[in-house]
Structure 1
Amino acid sequence: MKAPPPNILFFLTDNQRNDLLGCAGNPIIKTPNIDRLAASGVRFENAFCTSPICAASRASYLTGTSEKRHRFTFLTSPLQSAYTDISYPATLKMAGYRTGLIGKFGIATNGIVPSLQDEDAVEKMFDVFDNYEHWTEEGYEIRQPDGSVRHLTDITGDKTINFLRTHQSDHPGQPFCLSVSFNAPHAQDNDPRCYIWPATEDHLYAETQIPEPFNAHPDFFRQLPKFLRETESRVRWQKRYATSEDYQRNMRGLYRMVSGVDRNIGRILGTMDQLSLSNNTVIIFASDHGMYYGDRGLSDCWQLNEQSIRIPLIILDPRADENNRGLIREELALNIDIAPTILELANLNVSDKMQGKSLVPLLEKKKVDWRKAFFCEHRFHRADIPKSEGVRTQRWKYIRYYEQQPVYEELYDLRNDPHESFNLAGDHRFSNHLKRLRRRCDKMSAECA
Structure 2
Amino acid sequence: MKSNLLLITIDCLRSDMIFGQNRTCKTPNIDNLRKKGISYPNMIASGPATLEGISAVFTGCYSFVHKIESWTKSHLNPKCTTIAEILKNCGYNTYAWSTGPLLKQYKLDKGFNKFSYRSTNKNLYTLGTDYFVKEIKKLKEPWFLWFHLFELHRPRQLDRNFNNIKYGKTKYERALSSLDKYLSILLNSINLDHTILILTADHGENLNDNKLTPFTFAYLIRLPKKIMDFLNWIYKKTKNKLSFIKDKIQPMFFYEKKYIGIFQNPYHKIRGWSRIRNALFSPIFKLIGFKEHKLNRSLIKYLISTYRYVPYVLDGHGFHLYDFLLKIPFIIVGNNIPYQGETINAMVRQIDILPTIMKLLNIKTEIKVQGNNILPPLLKKTPEPTAFMNTFSNKIQLSMMGIRTEKWKYIKYDIVNSDNVELYDLQNDPQENYNVIKKYPDIGKRLMNKLNVILEEKNKYNDQMTVFSKKDEEIIKKRLRALGYID
Using the size of structure 2 for normalisation, the TM-score is 0.68
* Match for residue 45 of structure 1 among 41, 47, 50: 41
* Match for residue 339 of structure 1 among 354, 358, 364: 354
Deviation string, structure 1 residues 35-86 (Cα, Å, up to 9, x no partner): 1110111110211101221111111111111011112131112212212xx1
The equivalent residue for 2:157 is: 196
**CA apart distance, 1:375:** 3.5
The equivalent residue for 2:230 is: none
**CA apart distance, 1:307:** 0.9
Corresponding residue SS for 1:417: coil
- Pair 385,164 (structure 1): closer, same or farther in 2 beyond 3 Å: same
Q: Separation in 2 of the partners of 1:255 and 1:162?
A: 28
The equivalent residue for 1:30 is: 26
Q: Separation in 1 of the partners of 2:420 and 2:360?
A: 42
Deviation string, structure 1 residues 313-352 (Cα, Å, up to 9, x no partner): 111121135xx11101022221111122222222222343
* Match for residue 261 of structure 1 among 179, 183, 187: 179
Corresponding residue SS for 2:189: helix
Q: Separation in 2 of the partners of 1:87 and 1:299?
A: 32
* Match for residue 315 of structure 2 among 282, 291, 299: 299
1:282 aligns with 2:180: no
Corresponding residue SS for 1:265: helix
Q: Separation in 1 of the partners of 2:451 and 2:402?
A: 6
Q: Separation in 1 of the partners of 2:33 and 2:333?
A: 6
1:66 aligns with 2:62: yes
Q: Separation in 2 of the partners of 1:292 and 1:332?
A: 21
Corresponding residue SS for 1:433: helix
Q: Separation in 2 of the partners of 1:30 and 1:306?
A: 23
1:350 aligns with 2:347: no
Identity of aligned residues (%): 24
8 Å contact from structure 1 (residues 411, 424) kept in 2: yes
RMSD value over aligned CA atoms? 2.4
8 Å contact from structure 2 (residues 60, 353) kept in 1: yes
The equivalent residue for 1:98 is: 93
The equivalent residue for 2:293 is: none
**CA apart distance, 1:129:** 1.8
**CA apart distance, 1:369:** 3.1
The equivalent residue for 1:445 is: 455
8 Å contact from structure 1 (residues 304, 376) kept in 2: no
Corresponding residue SS for 2:403: strand
Corresponding residue SS for 1:178: strand
Give the letter aligned to residue 87 of structure 1: T
* Match for residue 13 of structure 1 among 6, 10, 14: 10
**CA apart distance, 1:419:** 0.7
Q: Separation in 1 of the partners of 2:52 and 2:326?
A: 13
Q: Separation in 2 of the partners of 1:426 and 1:202?
A: 46
Q: Separation in 1 of the partners of 2:428 and 2:342?
A: 26
The count of corresponding residues between Structure 1 and Structure 2 is 355
Q: Separation in 2 of the partners of 1:357 and 1:133?
A: 34
Q: Separation in 2 of the partners of 1:315 and 1:411?
A: 32
8 Å contact from structure 1 (residues 373, 394) kept in 2: yes
Using the size of structure 1 for normalisation, the TM-score is 0.73
Q: Which runs of 5+ in 2 are unaligned?
A: 209-255, 260-313, 462-487
Give the letter aligned to residue 81 of structure 1: P
Q: Separation in 1 of the partners of 2:154 and 2:172?
A: 8
* Match for residue 418 of structure 1 among 430, 436, 441: 430
Answer with 400-409 or 414-423: which moved more: 400-409
Give the letter aligned to residue 77 of structure 2: Q
Give the letter aligned to residue 132 of structure 2: T
- Pair 29,175 (structure 1): closer, same or farther in 2 beyond 3 Å: same
The equivalent residue for 1:81 is: 78
Q: Separation in 2 of the partners of 1:345 and 1:153?
A: 32
Corresponding residue SS for 2:336: coil
Q: Separation in 2 of the partners of 1:373 and 1:104?
A: 33
Write out aligned runs for 1:28-427 (5 A).
28-72=24-68, 73-83=70-80, 86-104=81-99, 106-107=101-102, 112-116=103-107, 122=109, 124-134=110-120, 140=121, 151-153=123-125, 155=127, 157-167=129-139, 171=140, 174-188=141-155, 195-203=156-164, 205=166, 210=169, 251=170, 253-272=171-190, 277-294=191-208, 295=256, 296-297=258-259, 298-301=314-317, 302-320=319-337, 324-359=339-374, 361-362=375-376, 368-370=380-382, 372-384=384-396, 386-404=398-416, 408-427=420-439
If you compute each CA radius of gyration, which structure gives the higher value, 1 or 2? 2
Corresponding residue SS for 1:20: helix
The equivalent residue for 1:215 is: none
8 Å contact from structure 2 (residues 15, 204) kept in 1: yes
Give the letter aligned to residue 255 of structure 1: E
**CA apart distance, 1:405:** 5.4
Deviation string, structure 1 residues 353-406 (Cα, Å, up to 9, x no partner): 3111122x32x5x87435733243334253537411111111111111122357
Q: Separation in 2 of the partners of 1:382 and 1:164?
A: 37
Q: Separation in 2 of the partners of 1:260 and 1:283?
A: 20
Give the letter aligned to residue 174 of structure 2: R
Q: Separation in 2 of the partners of 1:47 and 1:155?
A: 31
Q: Separation in 2 of the partners of 1:160 and 1:371?
A: 45
8 Å contact from structure 1 (residues 289, 309) kept in 2: yes
Corresponding residue SS for 1:410: strand
Corresponding residue SS for 2:17: coil
